[in-house]
Homo-oligomer: A and B are copies of this chain.
Amino acid sequence: MHSGRRQDDSERYRAILETAARLICERGYEGTSMQEIAAACRMTKAGLYHHVQNKEQLLFDIMSYGMGAFEQQVLEQVREIPDPVERLRECMRLNIHLVTGGCSKEVIIILHEHATLTGEARAFIDGRKKRYVRFLEDSFSEAVRMGRIRPVQPTVAAFSFLGMVLWIYKWFQPDGRLSAEQVSHEMVELLFTGLVSPPVAAVPAPGAPVLSLVPSAAGGGES
């Protein structure tokens, strides 16, 4: 009974976070009033304030929840993959899946409201973001060191990766022409195979040296 009660409590709070996240995701943080959030939770504003300290704390909790979901669904799933290139490819796939799947308004809020929080709340979220950037930079560096990819600036590579993946929330439509899987596959190939060098020659100059690309060593056998 005790645990059941507690269970209800935390579930209730998460339901509030989810409702608030939906509204804030649609209208922006500043564009959403506590009144509206309360109404969407079928409560009055005073009732909502029984569960919530203040508006900024609400945003912080939404973002923390989103960071947790991301770290669990993406980061922890790929952290132990030994080959850095395969690690990055799988990471991109999972991250795209997270952003395209409509289940995570919280993550989109993290992306969009990147400068809304202030003070230590801002610093805390930024720290968790920075860890992800470091992880990507380190993976790119490792891949370069192993000769698995050509030498690139790891920071630029990491933010290019992130830009491609995280920009998706601005244009992707779940019921649009392109499926999430299509986007995912194409984008991974775009970054890791690149644009040059048609793998099977389409309209090659007969004399030109057209050639199939074989990964140099460390046999990462993959599509």
Contacts and interface: CB of A to CB of B under 8 A. Distances in A.
Contacts of A204: 147, 216-217
A177 B178 CA distance: 37
A196 to B, nearest CB: 6
Contacts of A163: 163-168
Interface string A175-186: 001100011001
Contacts of A170: 114
A160 interface: yes
A215 interface: yes
Interface in A169-223: 170-171, 177-178, 182-183, 186-187, 189-199, 201-205, 208-211, 213-217
A150 interface: yes
Contact of A152 (B85, B160, B195): B195
A159 B150 contact: no
Copies in the complex: 2
A117 interface: no
Contacts of A211: 209, 211
A38 interface: no
A48 interface: no
Contacts of A85: 195
Interface of A: 28, 30-31, 85, 112, 114-116, 143, 146-147, 149-153, 155-157, 159-160, 162-168, 170-171, 177-178, 182-183, 186-187, 189-199, 201-205, 208-211, 213-217
> Which 10 A/B pairs are nearest by Cβ-Cβ distance?
A194-B194, A163-B167, A30-B30, A147-B203, A156-B186, A150-B198, A149-B195, A163-B163, A163-B164, A30-B31
Given A153-B186, A160-B190, 5 more contacts: A152-B189, A156-B178, A156-B190, A191-B194, A210-B216
19 contacts: A28-B30, A143-B195, A147-B198, A150-B195, A150-B199, A151-B198, A152-B189, A152-B190, A156-B187, A157-B190, A160-B164, A163-B166, A164-B167, A194-B195, A196-B213, A201-B216, A204-B216, A205-B217, A208-B217
